[in-house]
Structure 1
Amino acid sequence: MTWQERIKKWLAHEELDEDTKAALATLQDDEKLAEDAFYQDLTFGTGGMRGEIGPGTNRMNIYTVRKASQGIADYIASKGAEAKSRGIVIAYDSRRMSPEFAREAAQTFAANGIHTYLYDAPRTTPQLSFSVRYLHAFMGVVVTASHNPPEYNGYKVYGEDGAQLNLEDADEVIDFVGRVENELAIRNEGYDPELLVTVGERLDAAYIEQALTVREQLAHPVKAVFTPLHGASGATVKRLLEEAGYHDVTYVPEQMQPDGEFPTVTSPNPEEAGAFELAEVYGQKTEADLLIAVDPDGDRAGIAVRDGEHYKLLSGNQTGALLIEYLLSQKKEKGELPADGRIFKTIVTSEFGRVIAESYGVDCEDVLTGFKFIGEKLKLNDVNREFTFLFGYEESYGYLARDFARDKDAVQITLLLVEAAAFYRTQGKTLLDVLHELYARHGWYRESLVSVTKKGVEGAREINRLLEDLRMRPFQEIAGIPVKTIEDYDSQTRRFVDLGTDEKITLPQSNVLKFFLEDGSWICVRPSGTEPKVKYYFGVTASGEQESSERLEFLKEAFVAEVDGR
């Protein structure tokens, strides 16, 4: 069916709601936008779906949400009566249409005879993850588009363990969603109201009780500033910190209420300095030690630490290193460091965390990019009990300290960061001081990312050709430094270049390459899973700050030039 036929089909639908009819009438005046809205179905991938809000098969709207929900309902039904009885939990963030999309999903599940729990107001993604586990539900859904611009929304799917679906289960769900042919034909009225249960305070209290277990110390005095960036985490974090005994925290008033327009920020992304502008104003007024910003669905946290008269924004890798040091040092001091302790990080995350963990005798294991792979390890450990989980993180500002949630959790991490800042303050140190001590002890680890946009079908082909070429003609050296090892996650092999031997990589298949150089540097080439980009990740280590910065810039420039010259 062509995009023109699809739009005619929507216009002819007798029960199309009035708002969609009006939007379609406007859309028809712009052929390019109309084509983009209808030329395909909105992609439902391993993590769910995400797109611009608006009319069309390639947009987030009540009809595409019904379609996804019907497919998931069919998947749940295929698993039997017990799965339908255990049901599904639905949460949503502060974005445009999030409550409406959550309600449509809930009614669709209930209309299919599935027990459905729907939150009464915006809640965070990690609380959704916790709730699936707490209620012993079969699945979960959270309506969110994380830190994307206001015109976007999304739909993320979780399994019974509270983690995003593993690849095998995700493929099965994708197949069921793909079988739903007509999004306009799905009716979700007339459900049994007893199947749709509104939840709120009881689960809030249970989640707070668990979040308090991340503490290693009782509260010490500290001044901090917190902002949820107009997202879902504000009330939860405030309640948690107050119950933990931290009463000298300033909450940015202009950004505490959920607001999907994000009126005070250009982008609600804690990776970007602009997200901290208002927090810094309050930090200067209160002479705060620490600023914390959390993204709209409450799963990623960024921090800025006082550095003289100003604040220094730390990277996800640096924050992860500080959290590992604090947790492990505290457990060691109390004699609670387990012999089978383990930390997880993704393959594009710094080696800094690994060397810190190993200095405490703790294993650090790599997983593919995406927190669901950490969740998958935790699920396996529920059965085989091979390790004690201590921490999991990724360079993109996602961290988990206690696995009552099975996705990255900025709420529990906010408490831990405030606690760490307070503890080190008793020693006359800031978190920045501790970071510099870690560099002095373990070496200066620096990382960077270069993203190259390749739009459209031809762009996707270019990215695939690049990865294929790097496999056919692998680098023997990069920037004049010999390549020591190449990890190919597609063939699941690790090649030792100097020895000419291979060994198996026990990670899922993925179109990613990673090069390890003889000087300890590394480069990872990875197509983005959500954007038309190929990403180059870089990591170096050196004995001093300036040397590490120079080495990083030289490696980046040399690699990009060598790739472009192929």
Structure 2
Amino acid sequence: MEWKTEFEKWKMHSQHDLELKEQLDQVTGNEVLLEDCFYKELEFGTGGMRGEIGPGPNRMNTYTVRKAAEGLARYIESKGEDAMKRGVVIAYDCRHKSPEFAEQAALTLANHGITTYVFRDLRPTPELSFAVRHLNTYSGIVITASHNPPEYNGFKVYGPDGGQLPPGPADELVSYVQSVENELMIEVGDEKELKGKRLYQIISEELDDAYNEQLKSVVVNQSLIDAYGDKVEVVFTPLHGTANIPVRRILEDVGFKKVTVVREQELPDPNFSTVSSPNPEEHAAFEIAIQYGRKINADLLIGTDPDADRVGLSVKDNNGDYIVLTGNQTGALMLDYLLSQKDQNGELPENGIVMKTIVTSEIGRAIAEAYQLTAMDTLTGFKFIGEKIAEFEQTKEKSFLFGYEESYGYLIGDFVRDKDAVQACLLGAELAAYYKSKDMSIYEGLLEVYQKYGYFLEDLQSLTLKGKAGIEKINHILTTFRTNPPKEISGILIESVEDYRSSESLTVATGERTKIELPVSNVLKYKLVDGSWFCIRPSGTEPKVKFYFGVRADSLPEAQSQLASLRTSVMELVHQYV
């Protein structure tokens, strides 16, 4: 794509679009920025698309959103009249242009005769997943860029089961989007006319009520909440996003009486003005919540990201300081509580299954196996967990109990098919009530979990390598580890190498190779004889390669020492290859 030619095409079109003209005026004169806006098309991948807002084919704007929606419309048309009648439900978050992008997607789809439902106001991503199932639509769209910086937005597509599209249908959709030749010439319908034909419908509050009602099924022990719901002090921050109303509503409905909301972060704000990043994985996102927590001696601080699919928990450690639990720690606490309670109540199915990703802590497997349950690994990305839930729903082979990933995503009730921070907030508050009933803090509960199953610790290191040279370096790192893998790390022998690109697992001692029954992905995982492991995975959305580390030991100091040694040794090796 010749960027100057493309720029001229858009400039010509801007004579008919005042907003586009203003956007172009803002970047005209900055040749580097202009080239970046126009030198290529924003990639629409299997999870949809995400990018900075601005003019041109390499930005999120009215025209690139219409192109994505046009591709989806053609895909749905190819599935027949029933798919078109079932239609598409659209949700959006608090970001710049989110309502406008949702409307443009709806007008594009409805113009094809596809029934389109749009939420009246911003809603969490998990509620969109629920809505697909509740309304029995053929597809769903959520306009969001999750916890990316404020200048970003995105377009994410869901399938008929409420999960993100699996590889086959996703590839098919991508080809339809790529076949749309000129995003500037896509026709959209007239809103009034489409609403008159019931092709463009605004969703009523009945759907919020239905979602809230289903959320109540996540509660494990209502009598516990009845007894301690007025004794647990919770501070909640939606970090300017979509979780404010649904989280507060469900916590109040089930009986949590003392929920203090961080007022400075309560209302939607597309600039996320009070935080450097609206990411509950980061301690900085909890700074104001921690101030609130100190004032009321809160048992639990909860933070959700803008589209409410990820949640972070902050608790007091034994020194009285608030720390943010890792996604692995939160997952372990939730899983241990969930399974122990269900076991006590005789509610654990024999064919129960726990799902986690290949880069998530092995403590999840240890907990599941302690209850004679299966723990299954999936590739990174919650869509793979959603896919497996759908598969087992059909085969009845397994009963889903819990799914999670280290990047702060959790799912308890399968009425949603993606990570759901609203569900996780509810279970997190119940955890606080549980430990309050035992006269323990949540942190003491975490130490108890470690004592029970072993001290599992994890870490993540990222290496950002930008540009063409950066991509070559990332490829070189992976190629070197593939063709010349280390035989030991810090004196600990490598037990097996899992190559998810070739779908093979190699047992080093015997040379035996076994097939990995997961989709192909450019990921390497090394397991050591002492139970520790590390994994190398290039990011799918950023110019970086990620290194995940995990260890297991009999004490916390031992685990910390092992983790530091593993991380240092692997990263020293990596830097030799860069």
Instruction: Normalising by structure 1, report the TM-score.
Output: 0.99
The residue type equivalent to 1:524 in the other structure is C
Shift of 1:115: 0.2
Cα separation, 2, equivalents of 1:16 and 1:338: 62
The residue type equivalent to 2:337 in the other structure is Y
Q: Which residue of 2 aligns with 1:405?
A: 416
Gap regions ≥5 residues in structure 1: none
Cα separation, 2, equivalents of 1:236 and 1:405: 14
Q: Note the 1:159-170 alignment, pairs <5 A.
A: 159-170=159-170
Q: Which residue of 1 aligns with 2:213?
A: 209
Cα separation, 2, equivalents of 1:312 and 1:476: 37
1:259-300 deviation digits (Å, cap 9, x = unpaired): 111111111000001111111111111111000000000000
Cα separation, 2, equivalents of 1:471 and 1:389: 35
Q: Which residue of 2 aligns with 1:525?
A: 536
User: Is contact 2:474-2:545 (8 Å) kept?
Assistant: yes
Cα separation, 2, equivalents of 1:10 and 1:143: 24
**One of 277, 301, 310 as aligned partner of 1:300:** 310
Q: Secondary structure at the match of 1:375?
A: helix
In structure 2, the CA distance between the partners of 1:309 and 1:471, relative to structure 1 (3 Å rule), is closer
The residue type equivalent to 2:357 in the other structure is T
Q: Secondary structure at the match of 2:422?
A: helix
Q: Which residue of 1 aligns with 2:24?
A: 24
User: Is contact 1:10-1:16 (8 Å) kept?
Assistant: no
1:441-462 deviation digits (Å, cap 9, x = unpaired): 2221110111111212232222
Q: Note the 1:411-450 alignment, pairs <5 A.
A: 411-450=422-461
Gap regions ≥5 residues in structure 2: none
User: Is contact 2:283-2:323 (8 Å) kept?
Assistant: no
Q: Which residue of 2 aligns with 1:180?
A: 180
Q: Secondary structure at the match of 2:387?
A: helix
Shift of 1:189: 2.6
Shift of 1:470: 1.6
Q: Secondary structure at the match of 2:22?
A: helix
Matched, 1:66 2:76: no
Q: Which moved more, 1:413-422 or 1:555-564?
A: 555-564
Shift of 1:77: 0.4
1:473-512 deviation digits (Å, cap 9, x = unpaired): 1221122211001111111111110111111110001111
Instruction: Normalising by structure 2, report the TM-score.
Output: 0.97
Cα separation, 1, equivalents of 2:273 and 2:473: 38
Q: Which residue of 1 aligns with 2:502?
A: 491
Matched, 1:259 2:269: yes
In structure 2, the CA distance between the partners of 1:271 and 1:14, relative to structure 1 (3 Å rule), is closer
Q: Which residue of 1 aligns with 2:571?
A: 560
Shift of 1:553: 1.1
Shift of 1:192: 2.4
**One of 316, 333, 339 as aligned partner of 1:328:** 339
Cα separation, 1, equivalents of 2:508 and 2:124: 45
1:95-134 deviation digits (Å, cap 9, x = unpaired): 0110010010011111111000000000000000000001
Q: Note the 1:160-559 alignment, pairs <5 A.
A: 160-190=160-190, 192-193=194-195, 194-218=198-222, 219=225, 220=228, 221-307=231-317, 308-559=319-570
1:122-149 deviation digits (Å, cap 9, x = unpaired): 0000000000001110000000000011
Percent of residue pairs bearing the same amino acid type: 52
Matched, 1:51 2:55: no
The residue type equivalent to 2:265 in the other structure is Q
Matched, 1:78 2:78: yes
1:6-64 deviation digits (Å, cap 9, x = unpaired): 11001111664212102212212100000000000001011100000111110000010
Q: Secondary structure at the match of 2:121?
A: coil
Cα separation, 1, equivalents of 2:283 and 2:14: 48
Cα separation, 1, equivalents of 2:534 and 2:16: 51
Q: Secondary structure at the match of 1:438?
A: helix
Q: Secondary structure at the match of 2:485?
A: coil
User: Is contact 2:14-2:21 (8 Å) kept?
Assistant: no
1:143-176 deviation digits (Å, cap 9, x = unpaired): 0000011111011110001011111111111100
Cα separation, 1, equivalents of 2:164 and 2:453: 34
The residue type equivalent to 1:421 in the other structure is A
Cα separation, 2, equivalents of 1:131 and 1:22: 36
Cα separation, 1, equivalents of 2:462 and 2:138: 37
The residue type equivalent to 1:204 in the other structure is D
Cα separation, 2, equivalents of 1:330 and 1:309: 28
Cα separation, 2, equivalents of 1:275 and 1:453: 22
Q: Secondary structure at the match of 1:561?
A: helix
Q: Secondary structure at the match of 2:133?
A: helix
Cα separation, 2, equivalents of 1:112 and 1:16: 23
Runs of 4+ in 1 over 6 A off after TM superposition: none
Cα separation, 2, equivalents of 1:132 and 1:100: 21
Cα separation, 2, equivalents of 1:127 and 1:192: 25
User: Is contact 2:110-2:189 (8 Å) kept?
Assistant: no
Cα separation, 2, equivalents of 1:440 and 1:309: 21
User: Is contact 1:23-1:54 (8 Å) kept?
Assistant: yes
Q: Which residue of 2 aligns with 1:34?
A: 34
Cα separation, 1, equivalents of 2:418 and 2:16: 37
Cα separation, 1, equivalents of 2:107 and 2:573: 54
Q: Note the 1:121-160 alignment, pairs <5 A.
A: 121-160=121-160
Cα separation, 1, equivalents of 2:23 and 2:412: 45
User: Is contact 2:15-2:21 (8 Å) kept?
Assistant: no
* Total equivalences in the alignment: 566
Q: Secondary structure at the match of 1:192?
A: helix
Shift of 1:341: 0.6
The residue type equivalent to 2:451 in the other structure is A
Shift of 1:564: 2.3
Q: Which moved more, 1:6-15 or 1:523-532?
A: 6-15
The residue type equivalent to 1:214 in the other structure is V
Superposed CA RMSD = 1.1
Shift of 1:227: 0.7
Q: Which moved more, 1:306-315 or 1:279-288?
A: 306-315
Cα separation, 2, equivalents of 1:453 and 1:16: 41
